[in-house]
Amino acid sequence: MDDGKATGKFKETKIMKRILTGDRPTGKLHLGHYIGSLRNRVRLQEKYECFFIIADLHTLTTKPEKTADLKENIYQMVLDYLSVGIDPQKATIYIQSQIPEVAELAIIFGNLVSTPRLERVPTLKDVMKDAHITIPSYGLLGYPVLQAADILMVRANLVPVGKDQVSHIEVTREIARDFNRLYGERLPVPEVLVPQDLGTLPGTDGSGKMSKSAGNVINLTDSPEEVEKKVMSMYTDPNRIHATDPGKVEGNPVFIYLNAFCTEGDKVQVTSYENQYRQGQVGDIEVKKFLAKILNNFLDPIRKRRAEFEKQPELIEKILKEGTEKARKEAQETLKAVKKAMELDYFSD
């Protein structure tokens, strides 16, 4: 029986499909992250073998001067992960920079994609605009290549992304196909997984999506008082001057948040407020106070779990160390097979 060693192919040992996704450790996670990805990851870890990457090398593409903040940001991010229900017994959480094999894979994969192809990635101009970058660095231009190395390193079958990231994953798919065409079928061609309910939250100022750089966020770590303060200053319907004026519910951040975080038991009250708001029968202050209550009810158990994990810094280190060791073993296996396929394993046994 072929055990995969002779050909360099991987022996299938798991029935569960494998997923890779993650975040750059650039600061505190917020409600937008929860709606856009975190809640979905909690569901995915029950159905798939999940690798959650803390992509610290990717932060260098826009903020190479901020490396002093990374260690603390990573620690806080893991606390956020655990507090919302990501379980290290079900998912692998690891640090990208602690796996040197990913850099070697990125160098190899970089030779399978052209500069014009990378310049056509739609999100490149958006990232440059947001980061006030006029000319992209080699690292920023090659962001999708390093991302391909991240994905293919663990041989992920599926990559959960929002619609704005689909173009990045297509670069990964092209690289995997080109490698397989040149050197034989060695790498999986990952599929994009875009959950139907994956959404975005507008910022508290009503301008675009919730974003740390825009300062329009409600963090998972915000205190009840901070949440209430932010909610009371939220953007609503700019054309509504008095509480007796009919207001617009559609596109109104306050009602978007209410519908995103209300429980089944609160839905009747939310619907009532929507009808009253349209008819000019309720003021913004009353609705906002109700929203602050809804959000704090949602965040209270997250705050409680976070406080418990904060008492166990040694556990956080253990989770990261064990997760990184597991991911590195996968990377070493992938790199070994890749170099064997390319006949670059000159001194291997």
**Which residues are known catalytic residues?**
129, 209, 212
Burial code (b: 16+ CB inside 10 Å, e: under 16) for 159-185 equals bbbeeebebbbebbbbbbeebeeebee
Q: How far apart are CA 238 and CA 341, in angstroms?
A: 61
Q: Which of 211, 201, 288 is nearest to 243 (CA)?
A: 288
Round the CA-based radius of gyration of the chain to a whole number and report it: 23
Any alpha helices (H) in the chain, and if so which ranges?
31-33, 39-44, 56-59, 70-84, 101-110, 115-119, 123-130, 138-141, 143-153, 166-183, 224-232, 253-261, 267-278, 284-310, 313-341
Amino acid at 283: G
DSSP state of 237: -
Task: Give me the sign of the Cα torsion angle 191, 196, 198, 202.
Answer: positive
Q: How far apart are CA 143 and CA 151, in angstroms?
A: 12
**Contact between residue 148 and residue 171 where contact means Cβ atoms under 8 Å apart:** yes
Task: Give me the sign of the Cα torsion angle 265, 268, 270, 273.
Answer: negative
Widest Cα–Cα separation across the chain: 80
Structure tokens at 24: 């750059």
What are residue 198's phi and psi, to 5 degrees? -70, 115
- Side by side, the strands of the sheet bearing 158-160 are 91-95, 49-54, 18-23, 158-160, 191-193
Q: Checking DSSP bridges between strand 49-54 and strand 18-23, what pairing results, if any? A: parallel
What are residue 16's phi and psi, to 5 degrees? -65, 135
What 3-state DSSP class applies to 159?
strand
